[in-house]
Amino acid sequence: MPPTEEHPVTPAPPRDDTRTLATVAHTAFFLLLGASMARFLLRHPGEPRTPWVVALGITLALLYVLGPALGAAPTRRRLLWLGLVVTTWVVLVVLAPSFAWCAVPLFFTALRTLPARAAVVLVALLTAFVVTAQLQLSSSFDPNLLLAPPAVAALATAVFVHMERQAQAQRALIDDLIRTRRELAATERREGTLAERQRLSMEIHDTLAQNLSSQQMLLQAADRTWDTDPATARAHVRTATGIAAHGLAEARRLVHDLAPSELADGAGLPGALRALGAGPDVEVRFHLEGTPSPLPDRVQSALLRIAQGALANVREHSGARTAALTLSFLGDQVVLDIADDGHGFTEPRTGAATAGATATAGATAGTGAAGRGHGLPAMRARVRQLGGDLTIESTPGEGTVLSAAIPLEPAP
At residue 331's C-alpha, the angle toward residues 330 and 333, to 5°, is 65
Q: Where in the chain is the domain with CATH 3.30.565.10?
A: 268-407
Residue 102: CB atoms within 10 A of its CB come to 24
Helices H / strands E in the chain, number of each: 12, 5
| 8 contacts 185 by C-beta, under 8 angstroms | yes
What would the DSSP string read from start to end of 338-350?
EEE-S---PPPSS
The alpha-helical segments, DSSP class H, found in 103-229 are: 103-113, 116-137, 143-204, 210-225
Q: Which residues contact 383 (CB under 8 A, 6 or more apart)?
A: 302, 306, 389, 390, 404, 405, 406
Q: Which residues contact 342 (CB under 8 A, 6 or more apart)?
A: 314, 317, 318, 319, 320, 364, 399, 400
Per-residue confidence (pLDDT) for residue 45, from 0 to 100? 79
Bin 407: left if φ > 0, else alpha if -120 < ψ < 50, else beta: beta
Using CA atoms, how far apart are residues 237 and 249, in angstroms rounded to an integer? 18
Task: Go through the chain and tell me how many residues it has.
Answer: 412
From first to last of its 412 residues, the chain has per-residue pLDDT tens of 444 444 444 444 444 556 676 777 778 888 888 888 888 888 887 788 888 888 988 888 888 888 776 666 667 887 888 888 888 888 888 888 778 777 777 777 777 777 777 777 888 888 777 777 777 666 666 676 667 677 777 777 777 777 777 877 888 888 888 989 888 888 888 888 887 787 677 667 666 776 787 788 889 989 999 989 989 989 989 988 888 887 787 777 666 665 555 666 666 888 888 887 655 567 889 999 988 888 888 888 889 888 888 887 787 778 888 999 999 999 889 999 999 998 887 654 433 333 333 333 443 443 333 334 457 787 888 899 889 999 999 888 888 999 999 998 765 4
Using CA atoms, how far apart are residues 126 and 114, in angstroms rounded to an integer? 14
Least Cα distance to 390 among 375, 410, 368, 371 occurs for 375
Q: Give Cα separations from 134 to 64, 143, 144 (angstroms).
A: 23, 11, 10
What would the DSSP string read from start to end of 79-90?
HHHHHHHHHHHH
- Measured over the CA atoms of residue 310, residue 313, residue 318 and residue 323, the dihedral's sign is positive
The residues with which 326 forms a beta bridge, in sequence order, are 287, 337
Q: Which residues contact 33 (CB under 8 A, 6 or more apart)?
A: 57, 60, 61, 99, 102
Bin 342: left if φ > 0, else alpha if -120 < ψ < 50, else beta: beta
Residue 125: CB atoms within 10 A of its CB come to 13
Q: Which CATH class is domain 268-407?
A: alpha beta
Least Cα distance to 318 among 347, 335, 339, 303 occurs for 339
Least Cα distance to 96 among 32, 150, 142, 147 occurs for 32
